[in-house]
Amino acid sequence: MGVTPTSPPSPDLSPPVPAGPDVVRLRDLSAQQWKSGAAAWLGWLFDGLDMYLYMLVATPFVAELLGVGEKDPQVGRYSSWIQAAFLIGWALGGGFFGRIADRLGRSRALMLTILTYASFTGLSYFAQTWWQLLLFRFLAALGIGGEWAVGAALLSETWPRRWRPWMAAVLQTGVNIGVMLASLAVFLLADFRPRTVFLVGILPALLVLWIRRAVPEPEEWQGAKRTSAQAQPGFLELFRGPVRRTTLLTLLVCALALTGHWAFQFWYIQQLRTLPDVAGWTEAERSQLVSKMVWLVTLTSITGNFLAALLARRLRYRRTITTLCLAYFLSMLATYAVPIDHGRLWIGLATIGLCQGVFALFTMYMPPLFPTLLRTTGAGFCYNIGRVAAGLGTVFFGLFSQVGDYRLALFYAGFLFLPAAGVAWLLPEPPDELPPGDSLPKVAVE
């Protein structure tokens, strides 16, 4: 008598269900939650450090590699291609390491991403040609893109759901502080060769030693892994059933918004270095000006993170993302419509920094939209694949620049936030969010 073969269990593609009531006080958090939060935050801090080092020294470093002056047209062209390779690597890393995290676990994948970006950021110091630097930046970006997806999933699976907007704001401050540390490194090392700052990027590798000992895998991931047994959902599940609409909408919003954002992030620094009123300054003086302006944008961006969280608690995610995309467009328009000197530029840069809080929201907004075993794959793919468009957009908008003047690149890039706002209006809300208006987590004193 034959035995009827049994089919493997189908993968679990239902939205996650809360295991129990959320805690409401910081003192009630478990040791695992604190460790997971610290690992994700520190990973993002070093993300910000390593990703920004190149942008701060791109013009003098690429000029050195090419053996030409900083205002030579080749410098802008090759430096933008290096940045494009970095953003494309970021996108691919988000998908690649996101898949590893869904299969092998969040903590294991987090260690791999940090080792990847720390190693190749350090190796950038040894680049002898522009294409070698491009290769090292591309490989470092694989780890940075992966760390975004893994860190966001780790935190969303271990911390209370009602705190997500505030968690997103706090997590994004890790990137902001990393950017500030990168600008501080450039400031302190202004008298050394530009390539020297990349040696600072090796420091994140030390974090791996702690994560390996202290950070366990989230219970939610372990439970989903046991339930699904060997039936791991495939990548194409992102484009099937009810998940497909979510994938396409988030992908489009991220592609448009990130292209405009990264065009700003790269070209505003290069524009500062080439403003007519700083033409007579020394290289060290220009580097210090850039560092100060980066601190300004970063500090206002930190404020913007919490402003975005506050708006999300009042308006929900869809309306908040739409509003901030519109505000980003208006700020870029006002700042770069006409030429202004560096003494007046700080007002526009501070306003743009406030609008950057929109990207903090994506941290906690996107992972819950996808099933547990597709979470880092979906969030990593949709958010980071937008960086492919952003990478190509950085080069494209650079074509609008006159020699030594990048204002028009910044002006036209700002218009991408208009269609981003339109698509954002169609976005779904996370399925397990609590009603708007919840308060901040309480710090118990009894």
What Å distances lie between residue 218 and 19, 102, 222, 419, CA to CA?
A: 12, 11, 6, 37
Q: Which residues pair with 405 in a beta bridge?
A: 402
**CA nearest to 145, candidates 80, 199, 206, 99:** 99
Q: What is the DSSP string of 113-178?
A: HHHHHHHHHHHGGG--SHHHHHHHHHHHHHHHHHHHHHHHHHHHTTS-GGGHHHHHHHHHHHHHHH
Largest Cα separation within the chain, whole Å, is: 92
How much is the pLDDT for 386? 67
Question: How far is the C-alpha of 327 from the C-alpha of 321, rounded, in Å?
Answer: 10
- Element (DSSP H or E) covering residue 385: helix 375-398
Task: Select the more confidently predicted residue: 166 or 387.
Answer: 166
> Has residue 147 got a pLDDT over 90?
no
How much is the pLDDT for 426? 94
What digits encode the pLDDT tens for the residues 302-333? 999 899 989 988 888 999 999 999 999 999 99
What digits encode the pLDDT tens for the residues 20-39? 345 667 777 778 778 888 88
Q: Which residues pair with 402 in a beta bridge?
A: 405
Q: What is the pTM of this model?
A: 0.69
**Mean pLDDT of the 339-348 span:** 87
How much is the pLDDT for 291? 83
**CA nearest to 45, candidates 153, 143, 182, 198:** 182
What digits encode the pLDDT tens for the residues 178-187? 888 998 898 8
> Has residue 1 got a pLDDT over 60?
no
| Least confident interval from 186-190, 202-206, 217-221, 406-410 | 217-221
CB 169 within 8 A of CB 360: yes
How much is the pLDDT for 24? 66
Q: In 3-state terms, the chain is what percent helix, strand and coil (to 5)?
A: 75, 0, 25
Q: Is the dihedral of CA 126, 174, 412, 252 positive or negative?
A: positive
What digits encode the pLDDT tens for the residues 215-250? 776 776 666 666 665 556 677 788 888 888 988 999
**Mean pLDDT of the 277-304 span:** 87
Q: What's the angle, vertex CA 96, arms to CA 429 and CA 379, rounded to 5?
A: 5
Question: How far is the C-alpha of 100 from the C-alpha of 150, rounded, in Å?
Answer: 9
Residue in this structure with the two tokens 């991931």, named with its chain if needed:
221
Question: How far is the C-alpha of 117 from the C-alpha of 123, rounded, in Å?
Answer: 10
**Mean pLDDT of the residues in the chain:** 80
Which tokens sit at 229?
A: 């047994």
How much is the pLDDT for 297? 92
pLDDT band with cut points at 50, 70 and 90 for residue 434:
very low
How much is the pLDDT for 276? 83
pLDDT band with cut points at 50, 70 and 90 for residue 349:
very high
Q: Name, of 162-176, 350-364, 374-388, the range with top average pLDDT.
A: 350-364
**CA nearest to 65, candidates 90, 51, 82:** 82
Residues contacting residue 328 through CB under 8 Å, at least 6 positions apart: 257, 260, 261, 352, 355, 356, 358, 414, 417
Question: How far is the C-alpha of 253 from the C-alpha of 336, rounded, in Å?
Answer: 23
